[in-house]
């Protein structure tokens, strides 16, 4: 049975969600504040979390950030009365998988929850990390050993591509097709940019696998 | 602009006009004084000559040719019949200065005449009677004086308009400079009102106008801050309204999709709860919008009575009076008592004395640093004071605004009961408030 955690401080809405989701065939746990919500979420036996942002004792954003930091990848759908573009952007960038402003249609909520459940819960870190190297795709900040590294947009895109599949070897063609818009025959551009990245991050940051391509390995 | 004439033009015209008038009056006075002093000098010359002649007559040594002091001066001695007895060389014995008939009617003394036989234009004539009955007539044409006066009048006629014009130009230019900051200020104000938002006016160097600009800028800043407060309040209000609406909508949608999902009476209780919350919120928003909008109807009231009516079953101790609007102050007490009851463990006490109401509870209290913050609209402190603990987040804001409208205040402190003490101060009878 699919198990849903609802973190919502408003008793009436929480009850409506519990009754409605139970009727839709889900098992539902309700947490009335951020602290309880985080504790239940970290136990990790839920398939999806419905999270309010304005919560007593611990904010929803804080719950979300802590979950991702603790490598709990349960899909999170944020429900919030704060529905401006900035609010939505922030919520998603912190690690939410979906964002639904209040008031919402219950049928839409259920459909979105089903969509999240289809995707499963693979690790989807908001901030990519391989060894001591981190990359935040939202802010485009790259850090190595805790120090900021200045990269161009293209260099960041190339590094992101490699860091999304750490330890895996990516061919030059794959990298070229995903990082450069214009697909040409010239694969040298990949070599050139790999050399730029090595200059800034150190030789060992990107390994060359002879005859195949490149990979990033955590140290 | 009124009348279509700019301030600059009006001031310039006034300055130039007044200066022109002053210059003309001055010129007239100058010519008068000059001509009078010249005539006085002429008279002195004439009477000197006449005295000399009468001295000669008295000594009976009248020469056939009389001497005159000034060039152009004519002197004649005329007997009673009008015949010229002696004359200066520049006149004829047969042509008296004044015709005998005219001379007879002329008393002794000096006068300016046009009927003298010598000189062109006005002539100053002095007649004197010597003891023998003969008369001395001396005359000096005034044309030299007139010439000098004409020259003076001409130069004034040219100088006065030129001076007036020059002054007008200078005034025009100086006023233009002086008024430029006003124009800059106006342009700045136009820019601010065009964008319809915050902005600052240029502060010119001129002291008075700089002060005006600074005052206007301070006003703009205050208006801007108040507009921002207002718009963030509206955003907060919308947000607060959205929560009960979301709860209502979801409850209704779940109930419609799954009529069996709710237990008996559970749904109606939930809906009622949310509708009451919406109603309280809307009521409080309206109260807040009305504070200060209508004049208070204050009168000397029994404060304890007002507090008792507002506090419901909570005990009210003490007696006191205050000069207030009883329904508004009732609202203040009710909000504070509601707040206290929400957080009290089991005791709420209201105490009244003249102009003061205190509401004590034995709840958790509020930490000193947070005590001002809770008066802000929609502030709810975290932890226990969550949204579902009730209240709209406007109660304290309303209480303080009403108290301040009366000239009093609401403050928070520690209660002897261990929780929070809210103190309302209000004007008392005789305080003039």
User: Average pLDDT, stretch B11-21?
Assistant: 89
How confident is the model at residue B380, as a pLDDT? 65
Q: Which chain B residues are Cβ-neighbours of A15 within 8 angstroms?
A: 251, 266, 270
DSSP state string for B10-59: HHHHHHHHHHHHHHHHHHHHHHHHHHHHHHHHHHHHHHHHHHHHHHHHHT
Examine the pLDDT at B1 and tell me if it is beyond 60: no
Residue limits of CATH 3.30.450.20 in chain B? 6-147
A111, A196: one domain: no
A145, A54: one domain: no
Average pLDDT of chain B, as a whole number: 84
Q: What is the pLDDT of residues B339-388, one digit of tens each?
A: 888 888 888 999 999 999 999 998 888 888 888 888 888 776 654 444 54
Nearest residue, CB atoms, B261 vs list A20, A54, A56: A20
Between B92 and B431, name the one with better pLDDT.
B92
Asked if the Cβ–Cβ distance from B250 to A81 is below 8 Å, we say no
How confident is the model at residue A185, as a pLDDT? 63
A156, A94: one domain: no
A73, A167: one domain: no
User: Average pLDDT, stretch B186-214?
Assistant: 79
Read off the pLDDT band of B46 (50, 70, 90): confident
Examine the pLDDT at A99 and tell me if it is beyond 90: yes
What's the distance, CA B370 to chain centroid?
45
Pick the last residue of a domain from A119, A148, A183.
Answer: A119
Q: Which chain B residues are Cβ-neighbours of A107 within 8 angstroms?
A: 253, 257
Q: Which chain A residues are Cβ-neighbours of B387 within 8 angstroms?
A: 9-10, 54, 56
Examine the pLDDT at B259 and tell me if it is beyond 80: yes
How confident is the model at residue B350, as a pLDDT? 92
User: Average pLDDT, stretch A144-161?
Assistant: 88
Q: How far apart are CA B131 and CA B128, in angstroms?
A: 10
A10 touches chain B (CB under 8 A): yes
A132, A109: one domain: no
Between B156 and A9, name the one with better pLDDT.
A9
Examine the pLDDT at A125 and tell me if it is beyond 70: yes
Examine the pLDDT at B409 and tell me if it is beyond 60: yes
Examine the pLDDT at B197 and tell me if it is beyond 80: no
Q: CATH number of the domain at B6-147, out of 3.40.50.300, 3.30.450.20, 3.40.1010.10, 3.40.228.10?
A: 3.30.450.20
CA distances from A129 to A171, A195, A217, B33 (A): 21, 21, 10, 107
How confident is the model at residue A31, as a pLDDT? 93
Q: What is the pLDDT of residues B110-146, one digit of tens each?
A: 888 888 877 777 888 888 888 888 888 888 888 767 7
Q: Which chain A residues are Cβ-neighbours of B239 within 8 angstroms?
A: 81-82
Class of domain B207-288 as given by CATH: mainly alpha
| Sign of the alpha-carbon torsion through B323, B329, B333, B336 | negative
Residue limits of CATH 3.30.565.10 in chain B? 293-425
| Percentage of residues in chain B having pLDDT higher than 90 | 14
Q: Which domain holds residue A132?
A: 128-216
CATH number of A71's domain: 3.40.50.2300
Residue limits of CATH 1.10.287.130 in chain B? 207-288
A78, A132: one domain: no
Q: State the nearest Cα–Cα gap between A43 and chain B, in angstroms.
A: 23
Pick the last residue of a domain from A61, A93, A119.
Answer: A119
Asked if the Cβ–Cβ distance from B260 to A12 is below 8 Å, we say no
- Partner residues linked to B357 by β-bridges: B352, B424
User: Average pLDDT, stretch B245-274?
Assistant: 90
Nearest residue in B to A109, CA atom? B250
Cβ atoms B176, B168 nearer than 8 A: no
Cβ atoms B185, B212 nearer than 8 A: yes
| Sign of the alpha-carbon torsion through A84, A87, A90, A93 | negative
CATH number of A160's domain: 1.10.10.10
A24 touches chain B (CB under 8 A): yes
A81 touches chain B (CB under 8 A): yes
Tally of domains in chain A: 2
Class of domain B293-425 as given by CATH: alpha beta
How confident is the model at residue B337, as a pLDDT? 92
Asked if the Cβ–Cβ distance from B253 to A57 is below 8 Å, we say no
Read off the pLDDT band of A219 (50, 70, 90): low
Pick the last residue of a domain from A84, A119, A154.
Answer: A119
Cβ atoms B335, B357 nearer than 8 A: no
A19 touches chain B (CB under 8 A): yes
Q: How far apart are CA B186 and CA B50, in angstroms?
A: 77
């Amino acid at each position: 049975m699919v198990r849903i955690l609802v973190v919502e401080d408003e008793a009436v809405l929480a009850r409506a969600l519990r009754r409605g989701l139970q009727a839709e065939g889900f098992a539902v746990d309700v947490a009335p504040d951020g602290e309880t919500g985080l504790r239940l979420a970290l136990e990790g036996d839920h398939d999806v979390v419905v999270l309010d942002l304005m919560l007593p004792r611990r904010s929803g954003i804080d719950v979300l950030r802590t979950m991702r930091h603790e490598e709990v990848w349960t899909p999170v759908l944020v429900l919030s009365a704060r529905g401006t573009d900035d609010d939505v952007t922030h919520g998603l960038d912190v690690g939410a998988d979906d964002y639904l402003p209040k008031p919402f249609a219950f049928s839409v909520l259920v459909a979105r929850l089903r969509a999240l459940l289809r995707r499963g819960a693979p690790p989807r870190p908001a901030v990519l990390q391989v060894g001591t190297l981190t990359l935040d795709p939202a802010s485009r900040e790259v850090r190595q050993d805790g120090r900021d590294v200045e990269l161009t947009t293209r260099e960041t895109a190339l590094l992101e591509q490699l860091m999304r599949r750490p330890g895996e070897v990516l061919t030059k063609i794959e990298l070229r097709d995903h990082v450069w818009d214009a697909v040409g025959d010239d694969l040298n551009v990949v070599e050139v940019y790999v050399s730029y990245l090595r200059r800034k991050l150190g030789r060992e940051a990107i390994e060359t696998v002879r005859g195949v391509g490149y990979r990033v390995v955590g140290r | 602009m009124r009348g279509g004439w700019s301030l600059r033009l009006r001031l310039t015209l006034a300055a130039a006009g007044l200066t022109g008038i002053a210059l003309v009056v001055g010129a007239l006075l100058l010519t008068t004084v000059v001509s009078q002093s010249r005539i006085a000098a002429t008279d002195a010359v004439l009477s000197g000559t006449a005295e000399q002649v009468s001295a000669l007559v008295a000594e009976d040594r009248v020469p056939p040719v009389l001497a005159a002091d000034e060039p152009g001066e004519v002197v004649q001695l005329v007997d009673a019949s009008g015949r010229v007895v002696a004359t200066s060389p520049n006149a004829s014995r047969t042509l008296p200065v004044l015709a005998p008939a005219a001379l007879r009617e002329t008393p002794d003394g000096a006068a300016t005449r046009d009927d003298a036989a010598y000189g062109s234009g006005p002539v100053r004539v002095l007649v004197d009677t010597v003891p023998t009955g003969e008369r001395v007539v001396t005359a000096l044409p005034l044309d030299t004086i007139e010439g000098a006066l004409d020259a003076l009048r001409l130069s004034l006629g040219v100088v006065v308009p030129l001076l007036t014009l020059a002054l007008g130009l200078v005034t025009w230019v100086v006023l233009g400079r002086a008024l430029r900051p006003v124009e800059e200020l106006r342009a700045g104000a136009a820019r601010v009102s065009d964008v319809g938002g915050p902005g600052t006016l240029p502060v010119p160097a001129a002291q008075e106008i700089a002060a005006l600009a600074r005052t206007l800028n301070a006003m703009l800043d205050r208006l801007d801050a108040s507009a921002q407060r207002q718009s963030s309040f509206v955003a907060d209000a919308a947000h607060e309204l959205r929560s009960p609406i979301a709860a209502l909508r979801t409850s209704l949608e779940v109930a419609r999709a799954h009529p069996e999902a709710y237990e008996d009476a559970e749904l109606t209780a939930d809906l009622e709860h949310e509708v009451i919350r919406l109603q309280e919120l809307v009521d409080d928003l309206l109260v807040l919008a009305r504070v200060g909008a209508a004049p208070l109807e204050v009168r000397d009231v029994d404060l304890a009575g007002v507090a008792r009516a507002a506090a419901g079953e909570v005990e009210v101790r003490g007696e006191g009076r205050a000069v207030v609007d009883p329904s508004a102050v009732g609202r203040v007490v009710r909000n504070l008592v509601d707040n206290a009851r929400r957080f009290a463990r089991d005791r709420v006490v209201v105490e009244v004395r003249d102009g003061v109401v205190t509401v004590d509870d034995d709840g958790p209290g509020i930490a000193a640093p947070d005590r001002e913050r809770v008066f802000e609209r929609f502030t709810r402190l975290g932890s226990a004071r969550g949204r579902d603990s009730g209240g709209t987040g406007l109660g304290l804001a309303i209480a303080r605004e009403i108290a301040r409208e009366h000239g009093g205040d609401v403050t928070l402190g520690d209660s002897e009961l261990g929780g929070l003490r809210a103190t309302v101060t209000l004007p008392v009878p005789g305080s003039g408030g």
